Structure 1
Amino acid sequence: MLTDTALIQIRRHLHAHPEIGLKEVATHDFLLKQIAKLPQENLSIETISEVPTAILVRVAGFAATKTLAWRTDMDALPIMEKTGLAFASQNDHVMHACGHDFHMTIALGLLSYFAENQPKDNLLVFFQPAEENEFGGKRFFDANGFHDQFKPDEFYALHVNPLLPAGQIATRKGTLFAGSNELRVSFIGRSGHAAYPQKANDSIVAAANFVTSVQTVVSRNIDPIEGGVVTIGKFNSGQAMNIISGQADIEGTIRSFTQAGMEVMTKHIRMIAQGVAAAFDQELKLNFRQGGYMPVVNDKEATDFFIDYMEHAAQVDFQIVEPAMIAEDFGFLSNHFKGTMFWLGVNDPTHTLHSNQLNPDESAIMKGINAITGFLTARMQK
């Protein structure tokens, strides 16, 4: 099995060479080289042209009755790193600011363990591209990447959490992370001179009414216990102070802990946009894109087993947590395969995920691997 020193070296190499989603070519090649160093007797690899940077590795079980799967994401974010670390990103304006370098390292650690210690059941390790922007899990699924002996019965995954102590495992039954839906709206009217508003059709006024009105979508249509968020993060319109704007472009995000809630919010936002466009005589362009960012809902039976194991496992620090409004495209996989996602603490409470100064504690890597290999081994006895 890979040593702690070797794992840290791998993590630092990955951290220094981040790549944006669907462009993880060097990452893909590096991972394949690491996999090639492992015992190959029970390993087989699946790649597909539709998602060329993805890697699906199968470890054959010695008495298999099912197939468990582990997922790790591979991509980085378009962020200029400011950590000052000796192994900081060498790629300008790209950084592993969400911990995917940790995720990949842990996945290699798991694969190393089970390549040397053949599991009872089959195990898949899925190195997935494009979690941050292009829902790589959904792309791989839609291209029939999970087929025949490469089709899992259960799927598991983690995400690092800088607010938790290094190595702590944390999850909950039911929804862990929210679903997310991208919103893009354009109101198109007619520009004109500020002195002659009657000869123009002001798109800023229409768009401002839309922004104000959508603030009621959650408060008046969603159960307060369920929760939801509609955030307008971008509003572009106008050229000068004395020109009436003929177009306003808006972008935002919709988040919900349930897919039903997402559908309710999407419906009402569409109705508001159509109503505003009609009231202000504007042409409307409206686009939603949820892709693979469905709510991450932990399966009851699998998660009951996971929690029971982690609560009783020696040297595992475990806690139950509240759901978070962050989005994760593992939600798509959890919607198609039962399983569990959880947090792994990495102890950097002064920096959030996506911070350009995020500096996770590397001691969490081996702690995470030990907890997960123990769990997967126990699950295979079930």
Structure 2
Amino acid sequence: MAESIRGRLSDLRRDLHRYPEPGWCEFYTTARLVEELEDLDVDEIAVGAEAYDPDDRMAVPAADELDEWFDRARDRGADPGLLERMAGGNTGVVAVLDRGEGPTVGLRVDIDGLYVEEAADGDHAPTAEGFRSETGETMHACGHDVHMTWGLAALEAIEERGFAGRLVVFFQPAEEVSGGGYPMAESGYAADLDYLLAAHVGLDHPTGEVVAGIERPLAMCHVDATIRGTAAHAGKAPQDGDNAIQALGTAIQNAYGIPRHADGMTRVNVGRVEGGTASNVVAERVEAVAEARGETTELMEYAKDRLRRTFETAAEMHGCAADVEVVSESPRADSDPELVDVVADVARGVDGVDAVVPTADFGASEDATFLMRRVQEAGGLASYLVVGTDHPTSHHTPTFDVDERSLETGVEVLAGSILAVAEDPP
């Protein structure tokens, strides 16, 4: 029999840390998760398109990127049969524990890594202790290796502790691009959930602190814009060109001037631009990647519409045309006070927890809100909790790491909260 997951939390987290894969490319990661799940006494394991409708996916990368990571997973030894079930970027897995009469509880954890090259310095613990990312260009720089470990270990703990009801664990792909939450939320596995828990490590909360439920996550959208103009010789006949770079410059300047809204906070950012060919050619094409966020879903829609209009009118001003595509988005959803109280009560009894914060502002965005919103709209309760960890640098940086004491803490808070709502529903 395989060794208990809770007996090897650090080893499992480090194993997952070594091979981070970007959104919808988590082929090897999904295979590893299935390998662990098959050693547990779960009732159902749904992989990829068995867990959601592939047409509901957002921000799916180009075929060549998918193929590259698929081949890497195969070369690394992922099960060929599992890989075939994930062909085309249908990654992620849902595990179900069905234990008779009782509530249906969902647990969502995310599984993707980031395009961040991990630090190779000797004072970076993953490097010093031999579990630095082996891919070269990606990293678990936001703690999703911890989240997966929590999900597996909490499932094992629930299985062993006499749970009565149905537990659905969503190992969700593509959180970093806000691409996987919607298909998971639209799936049959999210139907009829009475409760949903989601969790994150750190977020500037120290080891020993637990936030029982976040509030005010920002609704957000990712936007791709392509501006097309007309090429011309920049010295001989600049008047014959329609300069896509000039149009983009106008769009960027005006995007940051989108009017504030009286109902609350909004954010816009243009994060990457690429285009043009040479200094003596009037650029005929340029691409930009941007985002809009809002304190509410409605405010995000306001910022998104203004951002779209800004690209389109700036292009028109300079004789160009703009194609603007919303590639992914997520709504706002707040934690429910009744479930927050349950999590807080459980956390106060967990060894190693010395401070429980009932609620805190999230300040960023999360596509777990799709699942939260579906549960809440059906009359259920949801909470997104944070288990603190001391991290030497912020999330999404090359030197991000976690205090592994948070591994056991997260498992006990999650498992304890699931058992609590099953035994004494709020």
TM category, shorter = 0.7 to 0.9
Specify the code of the residue in structure 2 equivalent to 1:79.
V
Distance, in Å, in 1 between the alignment partners of 2:207 and 2:6 is: 15
Q: Please, which of 210, 215, 228 is the counterpart of residue 266 of structure 2? A: 228
* Separation in structure 1 between the aligned mates of residue 231 and residue 31 of structure 2, nearest angstrom: 52
After TM superposition, give the deviation of residue 162 of structure 1 in Å. 5.2
Trace 1:155-234 onto structure 2 (pairs within 5 A).
Answer: 155-161=196-202, 163-172=204-213, 174-175=215-216, 177-195=217-235, 196-217=237-258, 220-223=259-262, 226-234=264-272
- Write out per-residue CA displacement over residues 136-157 of structure 1, whole angstroms, 9 at most, x where no aligned residue: 232234454445xxx4222111
Counterpart pick for 2:284 among 228, 235, 246: 246
Tell me by how many angstroms 1:166 deviates.
Answer: 1.7
Q: Which moved more, 1:110-119 or 1:238-247?
A: 238-247
Partner of 1:57: 95
Query: Does 2:391 correspond to 1:355?
Result: no
Q: Secondary structure at the match of 2:220?
A: strand
1:139 aligns with 2:183: yes
> In 2, distance between residues paired with 1:327 and 1:174?
11
In the superposition, relative to structure 1, how do residues 237 and 158 fare at CA in structure 2: closer, same or farther (>3 Å)? same
AA partner of residue 299 (structure 1): D
Match 2:34 to one of 25, 32, 35: 32
The one of 180, 190, 193 equivalent to 1:152 is 193
How many residues end up aligned between the 2 structures? 369
* Aligned-partner Cα distance in 1 for 2:308–2:135: 40
1:226-375 pair list within 5 angstroms: 226-291=264-329, 293-307=330-344, 309=345, 312-313=348-349, 315=351, 316=353, 317-320=355-358, 322-338=360-376, 339-348=382-391, 350-375=392-417
CA change 1:22–1:167 in 2 (3 A) is: farther
Report if the CA contact (8 A) 2:214-2:359 is conserved: no
Distance 2:293 2:4 in 1: 39
In 2, the alpha carbon distance for the partners of 1:372 and 1:3 equals 15
Counterpart-to-counterpart distance in 2, 1:251 and 1:137? 21
State the shift of 1:171 in Å: 4.8
Q: Is the 8 A contact 2:233 2:280 kept in 1?
A: yes
**Are the structure 2 counterparts of residues 26 and 197 from structure 1 closer, same or farther at C-alpha, using a change threshold of 3 Å?**
closer
Deviation at 1:185, TM superposition (A): 2.0
The CA distance in 2 between the partners of 1:214 and 1:276, in whole Å, is 10
- Give the AA of the match of 2:396: H
Greater strand content? 1
**Is the CA contact (8 Å cut-off) linking 1:97 and 1:356 kept in structure 2?**
yes
CA displacement 1:135-186 (0-9 Å, x = unmatched)? 2232234454445xxx4222111111152222421255642x2222112223
Q: TM-score, normalised by structure 2?
A: 0.78
Closer, same or farther: CA 187–263 of 1 in aligned 2, 3 Å: same
Paired AA for residue 156 in structure 2? S
Matched, 1:6 2:8: yes
- Aligned with 2:114 (options 77, 98, 115): 77
8 Å contact kept, 2:211–2:357: yes
1:183 and 1:29 mapped to 2: Cα distance? 31
The aligned amino acid for 1:367 is T
Q: Distance in 2 between matches of 1:173 and 1:86?
A: 34
The aligned amino acid for 2:261 is I
Counterpart-to-counterpart distance in 2, 1:230 and 1:174:
21
Match of 2:158 in 1: 114
- Give, in whole Å, the separation in 1 of the partners of 2:177 and 2:23: 7
Identity %: 23
**Deviation string, structure 1 residues 260-314 (Cα, Å, up to 9, x no partner):** 01111112222333332333222221112224x323432344335444x257546
**Higher alpha-carbon deviation: 152-161 or 13-22:** 13-22
Matched letter for residue 214 of structure 1:
A
Equivalent residue for 2:141, pick from 91, 97, 109: 97
**Change beyond 3 A, Cα 1:134–1:329:** closer
Contact 2:221-2:292 at 8 Å conserved across structures: yes
Superposed CA deviations along residues 101-156 of structure 1, whole A, max 9, x for unmatched, are 10111111111111111213322222222222362232234454445xxx422211
1:86 — aligned with what?
Answer: 130
Q: Where do 5+ consecutive residues of structure 1 fail to align?
A: none
Stretch of structure 1 that moved more, 165-174 or 120-129 = 165-174
- 8 Å contact from structure 1 (residues 167, 365) kept in 2: no
Q: How far apart are residue 69 of structure 1 and its match?
A: 0.8
Distance (Å, rounded) in 1 between the aligned partners of 2:101 and 2:300: 42
Counterpart of 1:67 (choices 97, 104, 122) is: 104
Counterpart residue type for residue 402 of structure 2: P
2:8 alignment partner, SS class:
helix
Q: For residues 233 and 94 of structure 1, what CA distance do their matches in structure 2 show?
A: 19
The code of the aligned residue for 1:159 comes to H
Q: CA deviation at 1:370?
A: 1.6
CA distance in 2, matches of 1:258, 1:131: 19
Alignment gaps of 5+ in structure 2? 55-85, 377-381
